[in-house]
Chains A and B, each alone.
Chain A
C-alpha cells in the first residue's frame, strides 16, 4: 500500500516538473471557458428575449448550461487523456528505469495502480479548472447542486476508465508517440460507438451502445445516478488494469 502511494506521488509530481501538467490544465481551462462563455451568453440572450416577449419562464441553469457544458467537458477529456497516459510506462521502458521498478520488492499491481492513481490525480486537477466556471453559476444563480455532483462523478469515472485503458496501451510500447496515438484512436473509437446506436436499435446495436463509454456518461450528465453505469465504469477500470498487469507480466517473458 505504501508503495502504491509512493509511486502515485512520484508520478503526480513528475507531471508538474515538466510543462505537461500546466499545458493540459491551461488548454482545458481555455476550451471549457470558451464553452462556458458561449453557453451562458446564449442563455442570457434567450431569456432576455423571452422576457421582452412577455413570457415568464424561469431559467433552468442545470438543463441549459451545466448539463451541455459538462457533456462538453467529457469530450475534451477524450483528447487530453492520451497525453496524460502516454508516458506512464512507455517512458520507463525507453529510459530503462523500468528495470529499477521491476527489480524492486514491489508487485506489479502496486506499480500499475500507483501510476494510474497518479494520472488520476492530474486528471482531477484538470477537471478542477472547470469548477471555477461552475462556481460562478452558483454565485449568481441558484442551480441544483445534486445533478452537478452526479455529473462530476460521471466525469471522474469516465476519466478513470479511459486512463486505465491508456495505461494499458502505454505498457505495450516504448514509444510515447505510439502510446499516445493509439490511446487517442481508442478513445475516439469509443466515442464514435455512441453514434452507432442512433442508427441501429437492434440487439447488435444495443451491445455496441452498452460498450460505448460515452453512452454511460449521458445518464450522469442528466443527473441520474444508476448502479448500472457505475458498475460498468468500475468493471471497465478493473478490466483495463487487469490487462495492464498481464501486459507487464508478458513484458518479462518477451523482453
Chain B
C-alpha cells in the first residue's frame, strides 16, 4: 500500500530524513516512532504530498507522490500535528467544507458527516464553534476530517496528544476498528501507544531508519535472548534456593540465573537464555523432574521503552537543535 524507497529530505542546512526505505501492507497499523526531531513529521508530509522529497520515491496506493499527487491526496486522510481546524467555523460546517473539498458530492455529504460525528463521538459539540472546543475535542474533529472521505490510507501525526486517558482508549479503539480496510500510519513518541495499537513499528532516529519489525519480534530481537521468570513453590524452606538455582543453571541454553526476592511460598528466579535459544520447555521439565512444583513461568520481554532507548541512544542521545528545527519547519 505504501512503498518508500531511499527517501531523503534535505533542508537548507540539515538532513531531516536520510535514505529511508520501508513498505507497509494493506490493512496494517504501523507505528512511526522516534524522539522529537527524528524526521517523523517530515516523512509524513512527504507521504501526503505536502513536501516533495529531495531524493528517492514514495508510492502510496499505487501512485507516486511526485508524479500523481492529486490521486495520492484523494486516497489519503491526514491529521497533522496540530489539528487543521478553523476556529471561526462550527464543527458540522467545517466537516461539510472539508468533505466537499475532498470530493464528496453534495448529496452524500450530510450522511458522511453524521457518520464521522458518530464515529468520533462529536454529537454533543456538533453545532459549536471549533474555537470554543477543548484540545481533546479539536483533536477528534481533526481525526474526523481525516477519515470523512473513507481514505485507503490514514496518516496520523500524534493522534492522541492532548487527550485524556478515556479519550485515548476511545481513539485506540477507533483506530483498531478502522484498521483492516484502512492502512494506518501513526507517529508518536509515546511508546505504550505503539504497544497498544500497532502491529509493526518503524523506529527512526535523527533521520535514519533504525529498526522496522513487528512489536513482538523487535522485543525479542533486541534482547537477542529471552528472559523468563520462574517461580518454584517452596514449603517450609524446601527446596533450598541455592539448589534450585544450581539446577536451573545446568539447563542447556541458559546463560544466567538471578535469584529474585522470594515471596512467601515461592522462590523467584529470572533466567536468561543464550542468543536464539528457547529454554522454557526445558526449564519446566527440569523443575518438574526434580519433584518441585512450578508456580509460575512467564517471559519478561523487554518493554518497548528499553528497546527504544537502546536503539536511539546508540547514537548521540541528545537530539541536536538543528535536527529539531528541521522537523518544525
Instruction: Identify the A interface with B (CB < 8 A).
Output: 2-3, 6-7, 10, 14, 17-18, 95-107, 252-253, 255
Contacts and interface: CB of A to CB of B under 8 A. Distances in A.
A104 B103 CA distance: 9
Interface in B210-269: none
B86 A106 contact: no
A18 B129 CA distance: 12
Counting from the closest, the 7 A-B pairs by CB-CB distance are A100-B84, A105-B73, A17-B88, A97-B84, A105-B74, A103-B48, A99-B80
Given A104-B98, A106-B101, A99 B73 contact: no
A10 B50 CA distance: 22
Given A10-B97, A14-B88, A17-B88, A103 B329 contact: no
Nearest to A107: B70
A96 B80 contact: yes
Contact of B86 (A14, A104, A107): A14
Contacts of B85: 97
A99 B84 CA distance: 7
Q: How large is the interface on B (under 10, 10 to 19, 20 to 34, 35 or more residues)?
A: 20 to 34
A7 B102 CA distance: 12
A252 B49 CA distance: 9
B299 interface: no
Q: Output the residue of A99, A253, A255 with the most chain B CB within 10 A.
A: A99
B82 interface: yes
A99 B156 CA distance: 13
7 contacts: A7-B101, A14-B88, A14-B89, A99-B78, A102-B50, A103-B50, A105-B73
Interface string B55-71: 00000000000000011
A96 B88 contact: no
B52 A252 contact: yes
A62 B89 CA distance: 44
Given A95-B84, A103-B49, 19 more contacts: A6-B100, A6-B101, A14-B86, A14-B88, A17-B88, A96-B82, A97-B85, A97-B86, A99-B45, A100-B80, A101-B101, A102-B49, A103-B50, A104-B102, A105-B71, A105-B74, A105-B102, A252-B50, A255-B329
Given A3-B101, A252-B51, A100 B88 contact: no
B76 interface: yes
Contacts of A96: 80-82, 84
Nearest to B48: A103
B145 A100 contact: yes
Contact of A100 (B74, B81, B98, B329): B98
B78 A6 contact: no
B164 to A, nearest CB: 23
A97 B86 CA distance: 7
Interface string B86-118: 111100000001101111000000000000000
Contacts of A14: 86, 88-89
B129 to A, nearest CB: 8
A105 B84 CA distance: 16
Contacts of A100: 78, 80, 84, 98, 145
Contacts of A17: 88-89
Q: Output the residue of B82, B87, B98, B100 with the most chain A CB within 10 A.
A: B100
Contacts of B71: 105
